[in-house]
Chains A and B, each alone.
Chain A
């Protein structure tokens, strides 16, 4: 166990050092990413103002808070892309990681976790800028801040599991991109990334309740900006733990089949 922790620590540290070498590239990436929530924010603030200052319980200030916290949660949602699996398999990268005495999942989790620290540091000035421009209505309690800090990491782990599962489809077929796009579209609509789910029709909200997506996106945001009761906050963290565990379990099962299916190319 301590060896595993040591591995996580070292790999994360390596990734921090590596990523700090590319501040400009990382910033380009983040600016591109911030365009998306700013668009949603502007459109929905316009709608809210046209409706007399509020739509679906959100004022322009509340939308601002939602979409600014959105940017951090979105960054926490970046994990190894499912498109990368094809590359891993084709170039034989996977053979190398299979030779290591550790499940490759650990390497991905720790590497991207390290990157997150770089991202958070670079994100702070952007968040300050966005707050100055859009004036979010944000007054969280200490408990909410605490839950938020746990929830963003919960979101990170849920999304890691989901995208690993998705990416592993590449073991069976190479025509996966359309499937990935379909997945990302569903995720966009059902996670609270496009709009807070309370603006969606009721049946969509019910559907989203049964799926993992919103626990990796809307819940962390709401835990900070929303009016969730302490019970709801704890229940939310519980749901995150449930989806992480479920994801890990399914992933273990699929991984065993996938690996049997894998024939190495190069290395």
Chain B
């Protein structure tokens, strides 16, 4: 498949590029540790005042946090850097160079950047998850692990679709710094299971910004709450969002007129 070959080449270049700056690995590690510390303090504070949050126990919420960090790492490795670059290039007119390549433009703009040091968060998320599973003394069956992986993949695809739609608005409103902030703000909501939020917000976090599917659903797979209907729904929504994102991207692209040269 062309997509995977292309992605792999860009990945190699990105990795080689970042391997030149190894100190950045430690900086990233430090940042991830600080973020983890703040998350644990927040969790500790909540559970110093209560014993369960809407039916979720402390280790279960730790699992949600693990998935949140893990998914955040996946987003920051590939999705977000590519979208940020796209935002900048639309504004500066240098998107021309991507559009003139003999490949589907959406593919190109989605795989050009890889921040390999962000993988630190993926590993850290897995470690938090592992700690949570040990505390839960949960037995992870093959099917559960598989359901988790699949749910994670669907969630990732949905976040990608959402980010692409958000980014495509740049063709109409040209100012960009706020997008990242908007996404990060909303993504932070995934730190808690969406069932704690009031109905209108939960609906928004499920269908408008698919944080629920990206974090809560995989976490449900691990804590034995996932039904196959939910997983099927996730698959359907992922497909719908990907198609919608492609449409929004193409509509927006038609408004692009280039500014360089």
Binding site for B on A (CB under 8 A): 22, 24-26, 28-29, 31-36, 38-39, 42-44, 46-47, 50-51, 55-56, 133, 175, 177-178, 181-182, 185, 188-189, 194-195, 199-201
Contacts and interface: CB of A to CB of B under 8 A. Distances in A.
B41 A38 contact: no
B62 to A, nearest CB: 15
B179 A28 contact: yes
B201 A26 contact: no
Contacts of B1: none
Contacts of A32: 178, 181-186
A189 B41 contact: yes
Contacts of B177: 25, 29
B49 interface: yes
Contacts of A51: 49-50
A42 B175 contact: no
A201 B48 CA distance: 9
A152 B10 CA distance: 48
Interface residues of B, number: 38
B38 interface: yes
B183 A50 contact: no
A194 B42 contact: yes
A132 B200 CA distance: 13
Interface of B: 23, 27, 30-31, 34-35, 37-38, 41-42, 45-46, 48-50, 52-54, 173, 175, 177-179, 181-186, 188-189, 191-192, 196-198, 200-201
5 contacts: A22-B175, A35-B188, A50-B52, A182-B30, A194-B41
A55 B49 contact: yes
A35 B185 contact: yes
Closest 6 CB pairs of A and B: A32-B185, A32-B182, A35-B185, A25-B175, A28-B178, A29-B178
A68 B23 CA distance: 41
Contact of A175 (B23, B42, B182): B23
A158 B137 CA distance: 48
A56 B49 CA distance: 8
B54 A46 contact: yes
Contacts of B182: 28-29, 31-32
B196 A42 contact: yes
Nearest to A44: B46
Nearest to A184: B34
A56 B27 CA distance: 37
